[in-house]
């Protein structure tokens, strides 16, 4: 059995506070949704703003692989002619095959918001659907506030959706607009409506009670054949139903067919693509697609997963484009160290206990290795009998001062031992960390030219014990990059410069050790 997916990220999703999409952004997301396999994509409300008008103009020239672009609007105004109503005309001018219109189901909204009669509201719904059908459009009807309306006056709420269905709507979508309903109520109401309506029943929920996904699934199990939502749950207030876990749960848990297996394997990619275009950080703890969704930290958990992967995983992460991860911390066991090292392609060589003890000692000081896989890799590599540091930091001094009214100057001086040679350099920078970075490069690049391609990609600072105020311990996380290769390193100290220096040293040493390993790798013998 299939369930229709209807995405409203480009309209409802943009009502999220702090989220704004350009026309080009909306087209990018629509193309990605189309490629992923979403059959209905709501492009916006053409009567509300010039941006949406432009989107629909450009959408006409796009070659959609399989998606149908839908225009959203409202029923005609009270006591107005449907043929000359601006909202209805804007829907027609968008020239989409499907028009989705919203109308009132709750007597409170009819009498106090629209300020019209209950009878006129029924006529508004029927007239709008019928007129759009006469103009050759397919019509989906969104019954706004339906579950609140049904609670207040069930007969009237049913009359509104029946009017839409009898006027020609091919799908009536029941909306939990305030997001306050519980799954049991959703199930009860949807079951009743689905048995009553002569057309398909859909569900559209909001997340104000943190139940939008659960309510959507409950509705489908009660008879809904169409589900609306947004990617990553973006939307007004607490958001809309998140289509990402809805898709995964429908296909992997409930046995419905919504996309192909290959498309499902792009679920994480889709989630992150939309987040990137929306300029929002992805939720790393999101179900199915978060970076931590299949991360294992506890030693007992990791030991079990090493034996039977599904022992602590509810699905295979590869089905949704994710992967299992082993996190190393003071809560870890030796199995964490071994499995995480294997994931990074390095061998612990029986030194798991030594590495684990070092991690526990360092994390007790404020270090954290969960997000610093580069520093963890170095801990493992430094336990190898063959380990020889490519350089050794002997001294470092950073001076920050203001001279003759100039902007504050930062200067760093470093002394290193490289190949039994002492190197002493100095450099100025835009800040103390930048000065340290430049001074270290000045010393190291003549010996290791490959470090010239390494650059700092990100720099994060976290206060570990904020109760110590300005004397607090600082944790610094540096992400370095060389081409497509990236690694993160950590430093920790009550002195932010020392913490930065520790992370910088690791960020330079790691690529050198990796290169040494590659150079000393024994090639496989080739036989004819």
Residue whose C-alpha is closest to residue 218's, from 254, 261, 271, 259:
254
- Position with higher pLDDT, 300 vs 99: 99
Element (H, E) at 173: strand 171-176
Q: What is the spatial distance between Cα 306 and Cα 302, in angstroms, rounded to a whole number?
A: 6
Per-residue pLDDT, 358: 72
Decide: 104 and 145 in contact? Cβ < 8 Å: yes
Per-residue pLDDT, 223: 98
Q: What is the spatial distance between Cα 273 and Cα 130, in angstroms, rounded to a whole number?
A: 38
Q: Is 70 exceeded by the pLDDT of residue 342?
A: no
Q: What is the spatial distance between Cα 188 and Cα 314, in angstroms, rounded to a whole number?
A: 28
Q: Is 50 exceeded by the pLDDT of residue 91?
A: yes
Q: What is the spatial distance between Cα 344 and Cα 338, in angstroms, rounded to a whole number?
A: 10
Residues 394-421: tens digit of each pLDDT: 998 999 887 776 777 889 999 999 988 9
Q: What is the spatial distance between Cα 310 and Cα 202, in angstroms, rounded to a whole number?
A: 34
Residue whose C-alpha is closest to residue 70's, from 95, 41, 90:
41
Mean pLDDT computed over every residue of the chain: 88
Per-residue pLDDT, 523: 44
Q: What is the spatial distance between Cα 14 and Cα 397, in angstroms, rounded to a whole number?
A: 49
Q: Which residue ranges form the domains of the chain, and what is each CATH number?
A: 4-259 (3.20.20.70), 295-381 (no CATH), 392-518 (3.30.160.270)
Of the candidate ranges 102-106, 267-271, 468-472, the one whose mean pLDDT is the lowest: 468-472
- Top-confidence range, 342-346, 437-441, 470-474, 493-497: 437-441
Contacts of 416 (CB under 8 A, 6+ apart): 391, 392, 393, 394, 422, 423, 440, 443, 444
**pTM given for the model:** 0.71
3 state DSSP class of 158? helix
Per-residue pLDDT, 217: 98
**Helix ranges (DSSP H) in 70-168:** 86-94, 107-112, 118-134, 146-152, 154-167
- Position with higher pLDDT, 364 vs 501: 501
Pairing between β-strand 325-326 and β-strand 295-296 as defined by DSSP bridges: parallel
Per-residue pLDDT, 505: 92
Q: What is the spatial distance between Cα 487 and Cα 458, in angstroms, rounded to a whole number?
A: 10
Per-residue pLDDT, 356: 72
Of the candidate ranges 49-58, 91-100, 446-455, 486-495, the one whose mean pLDDT is the lowest: 486-495
Per-residue pLDDT, 357: 74
Q: Is 60 exceeded by the pLDDT of residue 528?
A: no
Q: What is the spatial distance between Cα 33 and Cα 27, in angstroms, rounded to a whole number?
A: 10
Sheet with strand 485-493: strands edge to edge: 455-463, 474-482, 485-493
Per-residue pLDDT, 381: 82
Q: What is the spatial distance between Cα 85 and Cα 128, in angstroms, rounded to a whole number?
A: 9
Burial (CB count within 10 angstroms: exposed 0-12, middle 13-18, buried 19+), residue 150:
buried
Residues 32-86: tens digit of each pLDDT: 999 999 999 999 999 788 999 999 999 999 999 999 999 999 999 999 999 999 9
Percent of the chain exceeding pLDDT 70 equals 88
Per-residue pLDDT, 135: 98
Q: Is 60 exceeded by the pLDDT of residue 437?
A: yes
Residue with tokens 């039977």: 308
Q: Is 60 exceeded by the pLDDT of residue 331?
A: no
Q: Is 70 exceeded by the pLDDT of residue 424?
A: yes
3 state DSSP class of 116? coil
Q: Where are the beta strands (DSSP E) in 365-470?
A: 392-401, 409-418, 421-429, 455-463
Q: What is the spatial distance between Cα 207 and Cα 455, in angstroms, rounded to a whole number?
A: 41
């Amino acid at each position: 059995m299939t369930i229709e997916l209807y995405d409203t990220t480009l309209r409802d999703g943009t009502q999220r506070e702090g989220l704004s999409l350009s026309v080009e952004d909306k087209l990018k997301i629509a193309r990605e949704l189309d490629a992923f396999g979403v059959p209905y994509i709501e492009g916006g409300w053409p009567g509300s703003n010039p941006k949406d008008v432009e989107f629909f103009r450009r959408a006409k020239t796009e070659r959609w692989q399989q998606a149908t672009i839908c225009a959203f609007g409202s029923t005609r105004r009270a006591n107005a002619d449907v043929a000359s109503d601006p909202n209805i005309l804007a829907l027609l001018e968008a020239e989409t095959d499907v028009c989705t219109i919203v109308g009132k189901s709750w007597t409170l909204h009819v009498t106090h918001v629209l300020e019209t009669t209950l009878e006129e509201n029924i006529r508004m719904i029927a007239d709008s659907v019928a007129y759009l059908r006469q103009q050759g459009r397919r019509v989906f009807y969104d019954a706004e506030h339906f579950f609140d309306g049904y609670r207040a006056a069930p007969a009237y709420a049913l009359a509104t959706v029946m009017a839409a269905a009898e006027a020609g709507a091919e799908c009536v979508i029941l909306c939990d607009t305030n997001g306050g309903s519980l799954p049991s109520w959703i199930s009860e109401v949807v079951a009743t409506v689905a048995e009553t309506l002569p057309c398909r029943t859909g569900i559209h929920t909001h997340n104000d009670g943190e139940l939008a996904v659960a309510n959507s699934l409950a509705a489908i199990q009660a008879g809904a054949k169409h589900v609306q939502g947004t990617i990553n749950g973006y939307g007004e207030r607490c958001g809309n139903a998140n289509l990402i876990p809805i898709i995964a749960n429908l296909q992997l848990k409930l046995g419905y067919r919504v996309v192909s297996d290959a498309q499902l394997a792009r679920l994480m990619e889709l989630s992150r693509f939309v987040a990137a275009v929306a300029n929002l950080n992805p939720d790393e703890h999101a179900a199915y697609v978060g970076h931590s969704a299949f991360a294992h930290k506890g030693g007992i958990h990791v030991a079990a997963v090493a034996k039977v992967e599904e022992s602590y995983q509810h699905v295979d992460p590869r089905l949704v484009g994710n992967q299992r991860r082993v996190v190393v911390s003071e809560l870890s066991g030796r199995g964490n160290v071994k499995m995480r090292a294997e994931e990074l392609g390095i061998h612990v060589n029986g030194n798991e206990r030594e590495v684990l003890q070092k991690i526990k000692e360092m994390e007790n000081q404020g270090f954290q290795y969960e997000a610093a896989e580069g520093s963890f890799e170095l801990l493992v590599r430094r336990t190898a009998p063959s380990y020889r540091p490519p350089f050794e930091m002997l001294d470092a001094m950073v001076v920050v001062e203001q001279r003759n009214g100039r902007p504050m100057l930062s200067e760093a001086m470093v002394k290193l031992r490289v190949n039994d040679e002492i190197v002493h350099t100095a450099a100025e920078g835009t800040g103390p960390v930048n000065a340290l970075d430049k001074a270290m490069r000045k010393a190291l690049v003549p010996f290791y030219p490959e470090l010239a391609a390494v650059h700092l990609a990100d720099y994060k600072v976290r206060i570990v014990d904020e109760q110590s105020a300005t004397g607090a311990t600082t944790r610094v996380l540096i992400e370095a990059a060389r081409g497509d290769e990236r690694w993160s390193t950590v430093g920790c100290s009550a002195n932010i410069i020392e913490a930065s220096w520790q992370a910088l040293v690791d960020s330079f040493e790691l690529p050198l050790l990796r290169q040494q390993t590659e150079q000393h790798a024994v090639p496989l013998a080739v036989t004819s």
